A and B are shown apart, each in its own frame.
Chain A
């Protein structure tokens, strides 16, 4: 198990802390310490926890999906993550360069790639999971992916949530 820390803002109402911590037990993680600070109708919760890397990622993802809860910062290994699907001549246009350039966005890295090539003549399809440390890095990731896609004539399919957040 690794140790991580996370700061979240939750509405200052009863039951909020439990909502945030429940997903941690669901993924099999343990709380190390919690501090809880109330101000202006909001509570800031600083959590240090232990979990396997994969479980920590799932925990953070679940917390981010909670209504009214905002993840303010993350320390240690877990990241925000997003998926991107690319279609085109992904290998011929240097997939390593594509990955390196996404990795060059500060705080971002490609965690996972699935590549499907039905036929060398035809366009291939790839799914990328990109992890990033700060919420704001998403826009830079999207911009970089779109630049690469433009240059290499790849089609980009982004999650709806990313389109909502970053425009297009």
Chain B
């Protein structure tokens, strides 16, 4: 049986989701793919717990009861721990920082330097340094996968890479932030203000305590950057995106749009020519994008020979996002025979 050993950095919602997924489905993956996914180390902001084959349920229990895995592991930094732990794939799940990409960027670069593959759900490193990461990975002969960074469980990157081999994608546009779409949908259905819709989203655990990244459009912009680099081959960073959020949308504007046959949606859009924009738009009611409600995401790919292709799915949620992370891990494990050979001596 082939083994793939994970070093998981970040035990927040997605990290926790990944542990739950592994606890539930490790045996299924063994049977289905002949791959045994082992956890060799987990890290949170306080420390690292390494072991030969950590039990994901036990990791969850420690994290919940003690607040940190440092309680059973060591108070150390993942950067130094990575040098000592035997692992195949770094799973980077720390929070997104769109200014510096840190701490994720350092974790990713360190893993690449050590000859390890990387799977990440963290948008920060890719939004600020996509080209650098991919160049380093190519040079080191390792794979970097990031399906979870745009659209959570909605398959996008792997769909284009694996399934749409014969086409060129010329443009992409969509609804890429579930929190914002939930807020707009509630404003439209209930006629409430942005503040009230946001408060409701917060109460329901949909919006974060500080939702400014979502509301101001930066989260969508990160996704646009990663999509544009990966799918359109447009080399860009977050600084290249023209970003307008939904801060100023009023219930009256939504009503006026409605009367004229539109719904207001926050659209992220990129073209092969390098036009990169995040903006609220009047979307005709006949357009599927206008029918996306609540926290769902939808992406429309404009292709050269296959017309438009639409994908939709859950853009967030611990298990949903973890499922995309795990698909990347399995793809790496499946696609590579003799993982060990790629490790430096």
Residues on A with beta carbons closer than 8 Å to the beta carbon of B164: none
How many Å lie between the Cα of A168 and that of B269 in the bound state? 10
- CB of B257 closer than 8 Å to a CB of A: yes
Residues on B with beta carbons closer than 8 Å to the beta carbon of A126: 256
Expressed in whole angstroms, the minimum distance between the Cβ of B273 and any Cβ of chain A is 9
How many Å lie between the Cα of A117 and that of B167 in the bound state? 49
Decide: A124 near B280, CB < 8 A? Known: A85-B257, A159-B262, A160-B289. no
Q: How large is the interface on A (under 10, 10 to 19, 20 to 34, 35 or more residues)?
A: 20 to 34
Structural contact, B284 and A127, CB atoms closer than 8 A: no
- CB of B252 closer than 8 Å to a CB of A: yes
Per-position contact with B for A149-163: 1 when CB-CB < 8 Å, else 0? 000000101111101
Q: Which of B252-274 contact A (CB under 8 A)?
A: 252-253, 255-257, 259-260, 262, 264, 267, 269
Per-position contact with A for B239-258: 1 when CB-CB < 8 Å, else 0? 00010100011111101110
Q: Which of A112-168 contact B (CB under 8 A)?
A: 114, 116, 118, 122-127, 129, 155, 157-161, 163-164, 167-168
How many Å lie between the Cα of A8 and that of B27 in the bound state? 63
Structural contact, B249 and A87, CB atoms closer than 8 A: yes
Residues on A with beta carbons closer than 8 Å to the beta carbon of B242: 168
- CB of A83 closer than 8 Å to a CB of B: yes
The binding surface of chain A is classed by DSSP as strand
Decide: A155 near B248, CB < 8 A? Known: A85-B257, A160-B281. yes
Q: Which of B224-252 contact A (CB under 8 A)?
A: 242, 244, 248-252
- CB of B287 closer than 8 Å to a CB of A: yes
Residues on A with beta carbons closer than 8 Å to the beta carbon of B259: 114, 127
- CB of B69 closer than 8 Å to a CB of A: no
Question: What is the interface of chain B, defined by CB distance below 8 A to chain A?
Answer: 173, 242, 244, 248-253, 255-257, 259-260, 262, 264, 267, 269, 275, 277, 279-284, 287, 289
